Amino acid sequence: MDHLARAKEILGELIAFPTISADSNLQLIAYASELLSQVGARISVMRDETGTKANLFATLGPEGDGGIVLSGHSDVVPVDGQNWNSDPFTMREEDGLLYGRGTCDMKGFIACCLAMAPEFAALELKRPLHFAFTYDEEVGCMGARALVEELKRMELRPSAAIIGEPTSMRIIEGHKGCYEYTTEFTGLAGHASRPELGVNAIEFAMRYINRLMALSEELKERAPSNRFSPPWTTLQVGRVEGGAARNVIASHARVEWEMRPVVEADAAFVKENITAYVDEVLRPAMQAVHAQADIATHVVGEVEGLEPAEDSEARRIVSELTGLTEAEVVAFGTEAGLFQTAGMSAVICGPGSIEQAHKPDEFISLEQMEACLGMLERLGKRLS
């Protein structure tokens, strides 16, 4: 069976595992572990605290540092409310396109890696080749963060990481970070006719939002020279809820917000400023009326951006493998920044288009799968 036919077969199996982020990915990890074990890979399965999610880290070739990581996330976004023309968890082929949830984001890349594993195993690799398949990328890159921490604990230092997110096989060397938060306001309920006797959580939430919006304007002035669009760190509020009725002082409110830093220093700037505003202005005003009033911010996820590097081994490798000389930056986030902050050179290059990701009738083309397989085949030859 040729590589493309095998990759298609594996992709069909991967799609049949409904690994929505809210659910377990253990069946997929067990399947991938078995395929890699069959070709002699050294396997490590790392479960999360719940025991229902796991990362897979597998290695072919010699022991030690300096290896190359092929990374992909196993989870997919939900299909609820989407109008699909076929079962999203049964792969369908039509006119050179493979349809199904996760085909491009990003089980297509994982399928290509698994299809090439027997060929990698047959080579006399001079450097370790690692496979890293993670959980919960779609909800905050939880698995990748746990994985890089585990690699640090193991004192294992791979040199470069190729993250196979759907880039239409273009080379991506940078993206902004994504920091997500929920801020909760606890006030004191009361009758609307006597607002001075209560603490209106919605009022303080509004003041908090106004401060965030002022910071968002200041971030525009801080923007360094870069290729992102827009070139500054963005900050926005996505959801606000609170209160019980028009004539009741709101005792609770919640603000869900995010920022996408161009540089990590911008994230620190926002957090320091909004924390100072809460500690020095908002909370004292609330507690002057009700001692138990409070504001608490919960971190949903803080995912570092991928900062373009002047000297990038990963970019050089993928450039040699694809023949492309230009590298781009993108708006969407990935796990690449986590690998970079762990000391690896990182780049994003994978089959399929981000334009199809998260949509009904998600698909990947056979042409893109073939291009990815070609890149991986050349990688094997390079490493041997």
* Token pair of 208 as six digits: 């908090």
Which helix (H) or strand (E) covers residue 259, if one does?
strand 252-260
Task: Tell how strand 54-60 and strand 129-134 pair up.
Answer: antiparallel
Identify which of 213, 114, 104 has the alpha carbon closest to the alpha carbon of residue 164: 104
Please confirm, yes or no, whether 335 is among the known catalytic residues: no
* Token pair of 13 as six digits: 């199996």
Q: Which of 105, 137, 138, 304 is catalytic?
A: 137
Strands ordered across the beta sheet of 252-260:
234-242, 252-260, 178-186, 294-303
Q: Which of 2, 9, 23, 75 is catalytic?
A: 75
CA angle 334, 328, 344 (to 5 degrees): 50
Please confirm, yes or no, whether 75 is among the known catalytic residues: yes
Provide the total of helices (H) and of strands (E) in the chain, helices listed first.
10, 15
CA angle 368, 370, 375 (to 5 degrees): 95
Strands ordered across the beta sheet of 54-60:
42-47, 54-60, 129-134, 68-73, 160-163, 345-348, 171-175, 327-330
- Residue 248 gets which letter from DSSP? B
Cα–Cα distance measured from residue 113 to residue 349, given in angstroms and rounded to the nearest whole number: 13
Q: Which residues are catalytic?
A: 75, 137
